[in-house]
Amino acid sequence: MLQVITADGDFDPKLVPDLSDEDLLKIHRFMLTVRRLNEKGMSLQRQGRLGFFMESTGQEACQIGAAYALSAQDWALPSYRDPGMCLVRGVPLATLLDQLMANSADESKGRSLPTHWSFRKWNVVSLSSPIGSKLLHAVGIAYAAKYKRDKLVCFTSMGEGATSQGEFHAAMNFAGVYRAPVVFFCENNQYAISLPARRQTASESFAIKAEAYGFEGVQVDGNDVLAVYKAVRSAVDKARSGGGPTLIEAVTYRMGGHSSSDDPSVYRNDEEVEMWKRRDPIARFTAYLTRKGILTESAVQKQSEEIDAYISRTVKERETVKPPAPSTLFTDVYSEMPWNLQEEAEEFMAEEGRE
């Protein structure tokens, strides 16, 4: 397993990737932002201000490290547990909140389940709730890029539960045969809802599955942001240069429940959770930056306060945005609305006007 930073912040200088101090501080701030966004999202859902939320506490290193290794022209198909990937790619926090709140400013007009990100401007492709389906879309995008000789890479993330789906096999097989420039990123967070990883596969790892399809599989410490960055950057560079796909397994842990509707205490014990808390990705990276003299405790405290204030301010602002207009029920289905749907729309809007 590739690891650059140990749980206590120690590191191997030979493995440290070439990132500037400015980049390291940006990565740290992104990780803190995602952690605070998770906490805020769960709080808003419990208060009835969000209908649904899926947190990613404990998986910050995965999403930030991976996204930081991509270029702007690359395509990303993140999972519902990857808001940080969207932020790194330039999606404003306000735009993420619009999606979560399903308001009229949401680019999908409130039609997608919260955390199902889709932002064309930033090359972020919508996921579908059926697990594994977007892997096929990622391979299709990657193959199209290869066919057109575009020097771009398609990156897609998934949980380990997706490896049990038929779409995983089809996507991996096609990618291997046609050497598509795609990076498969498996965030092995130990549970597919309530099913533990040990019951998900008989393989010694998820990374090893790549061998059956004729390309490289890499296992990385998913709580080590530098290791994640290093592994993904290597896979992206290889794909861009014509070397074909890579499957990366990032070993991490989902600290919260599967979603705001889940109670994880039913299927896992406190001792296990405490063990993974000691491997916290943010605490680890903070210890590393402190050892390097790049960050101080007071600076972290100041950053945290700034981020908290920024998120709270943005939430209040986005809560003033009205819901989508009822008329949007009839838009974006046909390029030219057929007569029967036009009649239904007119009748519906007339009824709306009388209320």
158-217 tens-digit pLDDT: 999 999 999 999 999 999 999 999 999 999 999 999 999 999 999 999 999 999 999 999
Residues of the chain with pLDDT under 70: 354-355
Rounded to whole angstroms, the Cα distance separating 304 from 80 reads 24
Note the pLDDT of residue 353.
Answer: 74
Note the pLDDT of residue 128.
Answer: 83
Note the pLDDT of residue 105.
Answer: 96
Number of H helices, E strands in the chain: 11, 7
Q: Which of 258, 279, 284, 318 is catalytic?
A: 258
Backbone φ, ψ for residue 181 (5° rounding): -80, 70
Is this structure's pTM higher than 0.85?
yes
Pairing of the two strands 191-192 and 195-196: antiparallel
Which tokens sit at 122? Answer: 């930033």
- Bridge partners for 250 per DSSP: 187, 220
Residue 135 and residue 171 in contact, taking contact as beta carbons nearer than 8 Å: yes
Which tokens sit at 347? Answer: 């009748």
What's the one-letter identity of residue 196? Answer: P
Note the pLDDT of residue 127.
Answer: 85
Rounded to whole angstroms, the Cα distance separating 59 from 237 reads 24
Please tell us whether the domain made up of 21-324 is placed in CATH 3.40.50.970.
yes
Domain ranges of the chain: 21-324, 326-355
Residue 345: CB atoms within 10 A of its CB come to: 16
Q: Which of 116, 254, 279, 284 is catalytic?
A: 254
Is the backbone of residue 132 left (phi > 0), alpha (psi -120 to 50) or beta? Answer: left
254 among known catalytic residues: yes
Rounded to whole angstroms, the Cα distance separating 160 from 184 reads 11
Residue 76 and residue 84 in contact, taking contact as beta carbons nearer than 8 Å: no
267 among known catalytic residues: yes
Query: How long, in residues, is the chain?
Result: 355
Rounded to whole angstroms, the Cα distance separating 162 from 154 reads 18
Residue 33 and residue 305 in contact, taking contact as beta carbons nearer than 8 Å: no
Q: Which of 36, 267, 268, 291 is catalytic?
A: 267
Note the pLDDT of residue 355.
Answer: 60
Q: Which residues are within 8 A (CB) of 229 and not within 5 positions of it... i.e. 6 or more apart? A: 17, 19, 27, 65, 66, 68, 69
Residue 152 and residue 160 in contact, taking contact as beta carbons nearer than 8 Å: no
Note the pLDDT of residue 172.
Answer: 98
3-class SS of residue 216: strand
Annotate 303-318 with b (16+ C-beta within 10 A) or e (fewer).
beeebeeebeebbeeb
57, 284, 320 from 175: Cα distances, Å: 31, 35, 45
Rounded to whole angstroms, the Cα distance separating 159 from 167 reads 13
Backbone φ, ψ for residue 31 (5° rounding): -65, -45
CA atoms 37, 206, 78, 86: torsion sign: positive
CA atoms 60, 135, 109, 256: torsion sign: negative
